[in-house]
Amino acid sequence: MLSLIGYRGTGKSTVGMRLARRLKWDWLDTDNEVERRAGRTIKEIFATDGEATFRQLERDVIADLSTRDRLVLSTGGGAILNADSRRDLRAAGPVVWLMASVQTIGSRILQDASTISRRPNLTATGGIAEIREVLNIREPLYRECATIIVNTEGLKLTEVVAKVLEELPANLLQESHS
């Protein structure tokens, strides 16, 4: 398994889909899987049941999927908040941290209508201030979990995918062609 971690707006889903195609593996997004299992959007889960319920659903999805082979998994931005999830992701295979500047993340989030409709603000402030605040908490956890770090700043999708593929262990790439 290959996992992608990082803040929302860093390209985990887009890059994950493209990597899965290149590797000829399956692709799943933990946020999509949580919504599918719950029958509600993440925003609705947060509003009705709270963040703790969402995080438990997210944890369950990661625990279930981390045993799969030939899977590219795009995780939610906060998946790394759970120590068991961090452990499972690392044990399952390479973990790629996609990162970008606060300004780039903010710009990408604003351009993605589904982010606004499906995902709640994580702090009372929202916007750039929220991104800074949440990244201060999460960056050490991303760093702890990641085996590969790719800065997506100013890169096209094809360049990000190429950088990830360059960093993957050779045995993983051989596995994808067998």
Q: Give the model's pLDDT for residue 130.
A: 87
CA distance 46 to 119: 9
Which residues on adjacent β-strands are paired with residue 5?
97
Report the CATH fold assignment for 2-164: Rossmann fold (3.40.50)
Segment among 93-102, 107-116, 136-145 with least mean pLDDT: 107-116
Residue 164: both structure tokens together: 């990830």
Query: Chain-wide mean pLDDT for the chain?
Result: 90
The pTM of this model reads 0.89
**160 vs 121, which has greater pLDDT?**
160
Map out the domains of the chain as residue ranges.
2-164
CB count in 10 Å sphere of residue 149? 16
Does 152 have pLDDT greater than 60?
A: yes
The per-residue pLDDT for 111 is 79
The pLDDT tens digits for 167-176 are: 998 877 666 6
